Amino acid sequence: MTPFRRIALIGIGLINGSLALALRRRGAVEEIVACARREETRARALELGLCHRAVADPAHAVEGAELVVLGVPPGSMGTVAKAMVPGLDPRAIVTDVGSVKAQIVHDVMPHLPTPSLFVPGHPVAGTEHSGPDAAFETLFQGRRVILTPIEDTDPEAVQRVRGMWELTGALVDTMTPEHHDRVLAITSHLPHLIAYTIVGTVADLEKQTQSEVFKYAAGGFTDFTRIAASDPTMWRDVFLNNREAVLEMLGRFTEDLVRLQRAIRWGDGDTLFELFSRTRAIRRAVIRAGQAYDRLPVPPDAATDNGPASEAAKSAH
């Protein structure tokens, strides 16, 4: 895979920051230019070695870059794309790391001098932390990256972006933007919406009960608080920009929840037991797919069987 001479990272938070660390570690890039509006972010990105230079103006950041990675919240992609164009080399490949794809394709492509060189992408990886300090080199190892080229997208550009992600240890797939948005609506967007909701429900409880909720959170609530600590701006944009798919999946979820509510009210234990048994099989399928690890104390080799980036491997670092 041909490494890159100069890459511009527009936005330098968890994702673009981790990408920078992974590429530098592999010696895959000669120069990384980061772009961030806030002076504090630029200073921190330099301190953390996430880039060689940090600038405020997107057009300035992309000058002479052969690859540009848009790493800002979905709702800002169009704006930064437009802002960088004056400095953009028409031969430069542009990609993004947004969690929604159809809307971003719609917002970004019209601004670009060479729309066919835009390769929409989404690394399905992250933590509840955001900002440059949250970045770490192994974030993408064993994780999936979804590229969603459209009909006119240049296949060679797709190959180069794929190559970049493979250098980080990620597994790269391609699908249409619309299909991506539908799959992620259920695997990621809806889970986040639900987690945000229940944590909010707790936030509204009487103060005394609330302090106890924190004490006994280990009972299951803890996982939800982690998800619900994710970046608010990004997630607001995700829901606003993947509305149809999220509302459809939310509709299915609500119907299923009301069905269980009814089963509980009427003491219908069979309906509960039947579902609770079925969901166990799904867990096994997810573990087989390498997206989860078994939390029982396991030998390190067993843990890595579930992917080097499994939580087990991560927290054992």
Residues 21-60 that bind its own copies (CB under 8 A): none
Question: In terms of CB distance, is 60 or 314 closer to its own copies?
Answer: 314
Q: Which of these ranges, 53-61, 88-96, 154-162, 207-215, lies near its own copies under the rule CB under 8 A?
A: 207-215
Residues 61-100 that bind its own copies (CB under 8 A): 75, 99
Question: In terms of CB distance, is 35 or 50 closer to its own copies?
Answer: 50
- Quote the least distance from Cβ 134 to its own copies, whole Å: 7
Q: Which of these ranges, 17-25, 41-49, 54-62, 118-126, lies near its own copies under the rule CB under 8 A?
A: 118-126
Return the residue of 111, 143, 160, 162 that touches its own copies, per CB under 8 A: 143
Return the residue of 1, 43, 56, 205 that touches its own copies, per CB under 8 A: 205
Question: In terms of CB distance, is 155 or 219 closer to its own copies?
Answer: 219
- Quote the least distance from Cβ 114 to its own copies, whole Å: 30
Q: Does 302 bind its own copies (CB under 8 A)?
A: no
- The dihedral through the CA atoms of 295, 301, 305, 309 has a sign that is positive
CA distance 120 to 117: 10
Return the residue of 186, 304, 305, 308 that touches its own copies, per CB under 8 A: 186
Residues 236-295 that bind its own copies (CB under 8 A): 236-237, 239-240, 243, 246-247, 249-250, 252-254, 256-258, 260-261, 264-265, 267, 269, 272-273, 275-286, 288-289, 291-293, 295
Q: Does 2 bind its own copies (CB under 8 A)?
A: no
